[in-house]
Amino acid sequence: MLIVCARCRTTNRVPDSRLAEAPTCGQCKQELLPAAPVALDDASFDKVVAKTELPIVVDFWAAWCGPCRMMAPAYEQAAAKVAPGVHLAKVDTEAEPEIASRFAIRSIPTLVAFRNGREIARQSGALPLPQLMQWITTHAQN
Ligand SMILES: [Zn+2]
């Protein structure tokens, strides 16, 4: 399957059977599916979301948002639990206001699940780990 590197935006082809073996990017040698949320920006967002053939969940957040900071540790834990089947990412809405406005993000944190570049689910408001895991596995897991 195709996985776009969030760091250098290179498209990598990874055999399904090797997904769990910590595949690295052919270009920059970084881990393609790290067990922590990857930050997406204006340069990487469209390509990673549209071309990566794994379900992707994006956390729209900001540093000034208390509930976002509260959910961050749970989101990190969730990323470790769902890797490598689901790719967890985050977008800093203050640094990337265009992405947030394109997706009409009205409140943060907002989670958006994508599959093949299309939004399939959305959730606004912070969730504790069990509910977060349930939401991710319901909407994004294969
Ligand atoms: Zn790379």
Span 63-112, pLDDT tens digits = 999 999 999 999 999 999 998 899 999 999 999 999 999 999 999 999 99
Nearest to 2 by CA among 70, 106, 20, 16: 16
User: Residue 102's CB: how many other CB atoms inside 10 A?
Assistant: 11
Q: What is the spatial distance between Cα 50 and Cα 125, in angstroms, rounded to a whole number?
A: 25
Q: Determine the distance separating the centroid of ligand 1 and the alpha carbon of 39, expressed in angstroms.
A: 13
- Contact call for residues 77 and 45 (beta carbons, < 8 A): no
Look up 65 and say whether it is catalytic: yes
Q: How far is the CA of 127 from the centre of ligand 1 (A)?
A: 31
Q: Which residues contact 69 (CB under 8 A, 6 or more apart)?
A: 63
The rounded Å distance from CA 77 to ligand 1 centre is 23
Handedness of CA 94, 44, 16, 24 (dihedral sign): negative
- What are 6-39's pLDDT values in tens digits? 999 999 999 999 999 999 999 999 999 998 999 9
pLDDT-derived band of residue 142, with 50, 70 and 90 as boundaries?
A: low
Other residues' Cβ atoms within 10 Å of the Cβ of residue 77: 15
